[in-house]
């Protein structure tokens, strides 16, 4: 039971109130300085042996990145997502490639796409997806994808842009009269 697990963990770690999404899926935020110890306890004591996902969210206005470590206990059929907030400026996360080797790939992606560093992670500074990329990491919310596209790519003659809402209305409801005709 997830509620029992969270209560047990709260005796040893500073965790926020859990967000129970489903009976088998819970989100909780932990302190960055407790992350490694908590991950080891979850893996070695609580049976969360599978790192499902490591991802980030850019909280631009708050000056933070949220790292989310999604762990699964297959035997108990439950998933726990641990969130950790780190400063956006000079963003550095703790490497966990030694706990779950698959984390190396996630950490390389987060380094390239968000600019979050994971010192000590193998090949974290090697190009991964964006070969030759020299601009701001593109998953940061202050990256202007439209400006980048206009600066990088030329306009193609004859290209027509459709308003997505109107285009989908026509595609889904071809027999419906336009709003103005009603």
Average confidence (pLDDT) over 122-143: 93
Structural domains of the chain, with CATH = 2-154 (3.30.460.80)
Q: Which pLDDT band holds residue 180 (cuts at 50, 70, 90)? A: low
The predicted-structure confidence for 7-42, as pLDDT tens digits, reads as follows 999 999 999 999 999 999 999 999 999 999 999 999
pLDDT digits (tens, 9 = 90+) for 92-117: 999 999 999 999 999 999 999 999 99
Going 86 to 16 to 98 to 25, the CA torsion angle's sign is: negative
Side-chain half-sphere of 165: how many Cα atoms within 13 Å?
2
Residue-level pLDDT at 170: 87
């Amino acid at each position: 039971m997830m509620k029992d697990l969270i209560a047990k963990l709260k005796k040893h770690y500073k965790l926020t109130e859990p967000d129970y999404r489903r009976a088998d899926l819970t989100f909780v935020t932990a302190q960055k300085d407790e992350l490694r110890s908590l991950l080891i306890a979850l893996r070695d004591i609580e049976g969360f042996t599978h790192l499902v996902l490591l991802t980030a969210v850019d909280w631009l206005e708050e000056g933070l990145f949220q790292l989310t470590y999604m762990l699964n206990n297959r035997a108990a059929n439950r998933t726990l997502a641990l969130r950790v907030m780190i400063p956006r400026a000079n963003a550095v996360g703790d490497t966990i490639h030694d706990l779950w080797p698959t984390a190396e790939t996630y950490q390389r992606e987060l380094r390239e796409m968000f600019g979050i560093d994971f010192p000590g992670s193998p090949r974290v500074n090697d190009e991964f997806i964006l070969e030759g990329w020299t601009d701001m990491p593109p998953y940061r919310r202050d990256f202007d994808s439209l400006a980048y596209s206009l600066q990088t790519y030329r306009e193609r003659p004859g290209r027509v842009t459709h308003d997505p809402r109107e285009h989908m209305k026509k595609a889904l409801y071809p027999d419906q009269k336009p709003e103005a005709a009603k």
